[in-house]
Amino acid sequence: MDLNPVRSQFPALAQTLGEHPLCYLDTAATSQKPQRVIDAINEYYQRDNANVHRAAHQLSSRATAQYEAVRDAVQGFIKAERRDEIIFTHGTTEGFNLLAHGLSATIEPGDLILLDSAAHHANIVPWQMLAKATGARIQPIPLDKTCRLDQAAYQELLAQKPAIVSLTHVSNVMGTRNPIETMLAQARAAGAITVVDGAQAIAHLRVDVTRLGCDFYLFSAHKMYGPTGIGILYGRFALLDTLAPLLTGGEMIKQVSFEQTTFNTLPNRLEAGTPPISAVIGMGEAIAFLNELPRVQIQEAESELLHYLQQSLKALDEVELIGAHPDNIGAVAFNLKGEHHQDVGILLDQQGVAVRCGHHCAMPLMQTLGLKGCCRASLGVYSNKDDIDRFICALKSVIELLQP
Ligand SMILES: Cc1ncc(COP(=O)(O)O)c(C=O)c1O
């Protein structure tokens, strides 16, 4: 499939760094943005800029209509049953903080919270705060030798009747994909509140939260071709409605006196203050962009490309792959044997190749794997075979330089 028509919609990809055309393999950190997303944000500021929900004037009506239309678009995009199950957050991280704080009244001393060993810090630290505040316990679901979650150990942990099970849909480090359909069904059967970090899945897989049957699903727009500063906390209404707000003030109130405050209904109750209106509008345009793509073919093309990337790296003796499986999504983690990941990243950058190096906000995973860090090459809808060939060529010259 020719992905060039898609690629040409991303202006940042057309640049050169020094004499090298940009080879962008850091989409898992943040995706590039298509022109239409950039234009939608500009148009809002040039024509419709006003605060939402509040004023009687036409600009505010236009801004509010656009803002709330995006809620409908998100509802359709992830197939939520109700529009008030969609909460705008500043991103996945804020969503987890809101969620963990909001569940504090539900959790009791000694309750068990099961976490994914490959989790991003955003899906660890807020739970630690909750555990500290309530006396709950945290237990990671261990990895097996192939860097996937150990399903037998998971069954044993579920037998302890955890209160919360928070899984990663797709690992931001290795691109490994958890069998969340099965794992969520098992967690539900054990009576747990189920949470999915969808930050790395949302741009690659078609997500249906109703079919998944999870209680909460979180993601960020900037990893799905939208702007930074906006994300989604989806929650099944009955549970979402029980969450205590993290932030207060603004449109989340119904009635305020100096003695007391009553809160608004969902979704406003969990969206305090002036929201990031332009970012919401940009996210709506990113959803329209994704909806217009032939998602099934794109998913197949992305999977073929990832396989090509894995095989090309595997062919190099100096490369050590981490958790690479044929059904992974969007990313490959690797190290050059005996070399520091940061050196590799800097030398690749000098040839115009952008990869991510470090702990990838997954320090517990690095500890489990016995690594200080690693490099990660990640793909987006605009990536092509030429990117991978250029990356491999640059990596070979890094190897020659470091290991002459
Ligand atoms: C799996 C995963 N979870 C959570 C996050 C945090 O997302 P954000 O920084 O947009 O809040 C990321 C970002 O890298 C991620 O990859």
* Mean confidence (pLDDT) of the chain: 97
> Which residues are catalytic, by number?
361
Q: What is the pLDDT of residue 104?
A: 96
Q: Is the CB of 200 under 6 A from ligand 1?
A: yes
In the listed set 291, 316, 345, which residue is the last one of a domain according to the structure? 291
Alpha helix positions (H), 203-340: 209-212, 237-240, 277-292, 295-314
pLDDT band at 3 (very low <50, low <70, confident <90, very high): low
Atom of ligand 1 nearest to the CA of 360: 14
The β-bridge relationship of strands 193-197 and 164-168 is: parallel
**Which structural domain range is residue 312 located in?**
4-25+294-398
- For 82-118, what is each residue's pLDDT tens digit? 999 999 999 999 999 999 999 999 999 999 999 999 9
Across residues 193-215, what is the average pLDDT?
98
- The burial class, CB within 10 Å (0-12 / 13-18 / 19+), for 336 is buried
Q: Is the CB of 197 under 6 A from ligand 1?
A: yes
In this structure, are 314 and 358 located in the same domain? yes
In this structure, are 141 and 16 located in the same domain? no
Examine the pLDDT at 69 and tell me if it is beyond 80. yes
Task: For residues 121 and 361, give the distance between their C-alpha atoms in angstroms, rounded to a whole number.
Answer: 5
In this structure, are 132 and 250 located in the same domain? yes
Examine the pLDDT at 4 and tell me if it is beyond 70. no
Which mutation among 90, 99, 120, 328 tests ligand 1's pocket best, with the greatest number of atoms within 8 A of CB?
120
Helix H or strand E encompassing 156:
helix 151-158
Residue with tokens 């396989």: 307
Across residues 218-235, what is the average pLDDT?
98
Q: Is the CB of 120 under 6 A from ligand 1?
A: yes
Domains identified in the chain, total number: 2
172 neighbors 199 (Cβ within 8 angstroms): yes
Q: Is the CB of 122 under 6 A from ligand 1?
A: yes
Q: Is the CB of 172 under 6 A from ligand 1?
A: yes
In this structure, are 129 and 258 located in the same domain? yes
What is the CA(137)–ligand 1 centre distance, in A? Answer: 23
Atom of ligand 1 nearest to the CA of 122: 4
Which mutation among 89, 93, 173, 233 tests ligand 1's pocket best, with the greatest number of atoms within 8 A of CB?
93
SS3 state at 79: coil
Which mutation among 90, 228, 361, 365 tests ligand 1's pocket best, with the greatest number of atoms within 8 A of CB?
361
What is the CA(152)–ligand 1 centre distance, in A? Answer: 27
What is the CA(242)–ligand 1 centre distance, in A? Answer: 25
Task: For residues 290 and 271, give the distance between their C-alpha atoms in angstroms, rounded to a whole number.
Answer: 25
In this structure, are 271 and 328 located in the same domain? no
In the listed set 274, 291, 308, which residue is the last one of a domain according to the structure? 291
In this structure, are 233 and 339 located in the same domain? no
What is the CA(39)–ligand 1 centre distance, in A? Answer: 25
Q: What CATH number did the domain enclosing 324 receive? A: 3.90.1150.10
Q: Is the CB of 26 under 6 A from ligand 1?
A: no
Task: For residues 87 and 97, give the distance between their C-alpha atoms in angstroms, rounded to a whole number.
Answer: 13
Examine the pLDDT at 1 and tell me if it is beyond 90. no
Across residues 369-379, what is the average pLDDT?
98
What is the CA(390)–ligand 1 centre distance, in A? Answer: 27
